[in-house]
Structure 1
Amino acid sequence: MKILIVEDNGVNRVLLRDILALLDGVEIFEAADAENGIALARTKKPDLVLMDLQLPGLDGIAATRILKDAPETRKIPVVAVSSYAFPREKNAFFEAGGDAYYTKPLNVDEILEVVERYRGGGGARGTKGENPGR
Structure 2
Amino acid sequence: LKKKMVKKMISSYVGENAEFERQLLSGELEVDLIPQGTIAERVRAGGAGIPAFFTPAGVGTEVAEGKEIREFDGKLYLMERWLRADFSLVKAWKGDTAGNLIFKGTARNFNPMMAAAGKICIAEVEELVPAG
Query: Does TM, normalized by the shorter one, top 0.5?
Result: no
Q: Kindly indicate which of the two structures has a greater share of residues assigned to helix.
A: 1
- TM-score where L is the length of structure 1: 0.31
Q: Kindly indicate which of the two structures has a greater share of residues assigned to strand.
A: 2
Larger radius of gyration: 2
- TM-score where L is the length of structure 2: 0.31
